[in-house]
């Protein structure tokens, strides 16, 4: 999918002329290394053993656990990626799959404010909006943003109070981590390269037996 950052196009550019080195291929015990032809800093390894897959290298490190053969797990999505579902299978810090982004947080806050004050008069809404924007502008980080939500309260001319609901679904500013998405794309691409090598070898062996 192209609605994740990095896009598929960006990943393809990163790994253009990428080559695979098979360091181990013993059933589901595998160690594959991928580098750009001619060198460079973009590289990664994929290691699998029963029940686990690790991707590590220039792209950070993530460990996934689900099926005995994790290649089968990732093949189930075809050539697409499924970041949300795959995040549930990360066992070495799944929170790292997401990052706080201030612009995302601010947009979420303002959307919730707009929805919560849509029946307010224009002057009341503008006054409250300006107060909220001042608070946000003086707290441009994750922890300060949470304090804004916790402490912000405004009353319109009718006595209607607006405050943020901090229960599940409250603005959190979270978006997918760039490196996590890159790793998701890398895993799918790597398995495709591995499967293609296997098929090419099988075809060569078949032709040689005729």
87-124, pLDDT tens digit by residue?
Answer: 999 999 999 999 998 999 999 999 999 999 999 999 99
Residue 1: pLDDT band with limits 50, 70, 90: very low
Residue 162 located in a structural domain:
yes
**Percent of the residues in the chain that have a pLDDT greater than 70, as a whole number:** 99
Residue 165 located in a structural domain:
yes
Query: Is the same domain home to 18 and 60?
Result: yes
Residue 58 located in a structural domain:
yes
Q: Is the pLDDT of residue 172 over 60?
A: yes
Residue 3 located in a structural domain:
no
**Percent of the residues in the chain that have a pLDDT greater than 90, as a whole number:** 80
Range of the structural domain that residue 63 is part of? 8-99+176-209
DSSP state of 90: B
Query: Is the same domain home to 13 and 92?
Result: yes
Query: Is the same domain home to 116 and 194?
Result: no
> 147 forms bridges with which residues in the sheet?
none
Distance of CA 172 to the CA centre of its chain: 15
Lowest-pLDDT range, 17-26, 27-36, 135-144, 186-195?
A: 135-144
Query: Is the same domain home to 73 and 111?
Result: no
Residue 113 located in a structural domain:
yes
DSSP SS3 for 72? helix
53-74, pLDDT tens digit by residue?
Answer: 999 999 899 999 999 999 999 9
Helix (H) or strand (E) holding 190: helix 178-209
Residue 2 located in a structural domain:
no
DSSP SS3 for 44? strand
Pairwise CA distance, residues 92 & 70, whole Å: 16
Residue 121 located in a structural domain:
yes
User: How many domains does the structure of the chain reveal?
Assistant: 2
Please tell me the pTM assigned to this model. Answer: 0.81
């Amino acid at each position: 999918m192209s609605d994740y950052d990095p896009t598929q196009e960006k990943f393809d550019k990163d790994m253009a002329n990428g080559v695979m080195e098979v360091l181990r291929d013993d059933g589901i015990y595998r160690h594959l290394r991928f580098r750009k032809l001619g060198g460079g800093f973009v590289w990664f390894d994929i290691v699998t053993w029963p029940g686990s897959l690790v991707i590590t290298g220039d792209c950070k490190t993530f460990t996934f656990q689900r099926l005995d053969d994790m290649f089968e797990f990732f093949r189930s999505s075809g050539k697409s990626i499924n970041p949300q579902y795959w995040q549930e299978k990360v066992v070495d810090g799944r929170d790292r799959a997401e990052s706080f982004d201030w612009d995302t947080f601010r947009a979420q806050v303002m959307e919730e404010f707009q929805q919560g004050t849509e029946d307010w008069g224009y002057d009341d809404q503008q006054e409250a909006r300006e107060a909220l924007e001042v608070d946000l502008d003086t707290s441009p980080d994750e922890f300060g943003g949470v304090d804004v939500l916790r402490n912000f309260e405004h009353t319109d001319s009718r006595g209607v109070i607006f405050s943020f609901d901090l229960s599940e679904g409250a603005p959190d500013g979270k978006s997918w981590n760039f490196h996590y998405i890159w790793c998701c794309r890398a895993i799918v691409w790597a398995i495709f390269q591995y499967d293609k090598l296997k098929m090419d070898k099988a075809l060569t062996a078949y032709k040689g037996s005729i």
